[in-house]
Amino acid sequence: MTKHIVVVDCGSGNLRSVTNALAQSIEPSDHIHITSHASDLIDATHIVLPGVGAFGDCMNGLNALSGMRDALEHAVREQKKPFLGICVGMQMLFEEGHEFGVHQGLGWLKGKVKPMTPSPELKIPHMGWNSLHFPTPARHWAFEGLEETPDAYFVHSYHAVETDAQDVVAYSMYGEKIVAAVAKENILATQFHPEKSQRVGLCLLRHFVHQN
């Protein structure tokens, strides 16, 4: 089946890096399309939402796209199309974000996004490579084929808390436990950047693209 992968442009995120990484996992007949138009989600087989920057700015950017919130709700929540959120694109899935005020998120997952509070010797933002850990031996399909504790690349100062434990499929340690990836039904999202995580990120993107 030809895949039509739509990358939602809400005014933040390194879209070119994301599309370049996705391009390494597709077949010649597949397509990747960056869009800010809700109508493009109709024919999408897979949807990607990247985000970089402040939670509120990313939500405002998404809300400013005519019809996009409703189109995402329909495509992801109702039609169950495979969805991948990246960095702030993951954070926006939760109920609210506490960055420069309190901002409402999409509310697809239980949880809030709050400042990281690691020990004083650790710098904020959390930037660089860190190991992923998996809460159960039966790891999520997105991480199949990887070693026991693979490394991924993070850049963030806020993280998800008060989450539903069954939604958390990977975590990292940075003075405290950090939610690194979540999944629920057709929804997959990562706090780390797959497009910057080299072999680990490409493995995850390949699994995502080939999810039916």
What are 20's two structure tokens? Answer: 């370049």
CA distances from 149 to 115, 136, 146, 160, 189 (A): 25, 13, 8, 21, 18
Name beta bridge partners: 86.
50, 190
Q: Torsions phi, psi of 32, nearest 5?
A: -120, 130
Residue type, 120: P
Residue 193 designated active-site: yes
41: left (phi over 0), alpha (psi -120 to 50) or beta: alpha
Residue 195 designated active-site: yes
What is the distance between the alpha carbons of residues 181 and 191, in angstroms, rounded to a whole number?
Answer: 6
Which residue in the list 46, 140, 193, 207 is annotated as catalytic? Answer: 193
Residue 148 designated active-site: no
Cα 15 → chain centroid: 13
What are 56's two structure tokens? Answer: 């509120």
Nearest to 62 by CA among 33, 94, 38: 38
In this structure, the strands spanning 177-184 and 168-173 are antiparallel
Which residue in the list 87, 140, 156, 207 is annotated as catalytic? Answer: 87
SS (H, E, C) 35-51: ECCHHHHCCCCEEEEEE
Which residue in the list 99, 103, 156, 195 is annotated as catalytic? Answer: 195
What is the distance between the alpha carbons of residues 166 and 183, in angstroms, rounded to a whole number?
Answer: 8
Q: Which positions are annotated as active-site residues?
A: 87, 193, 195
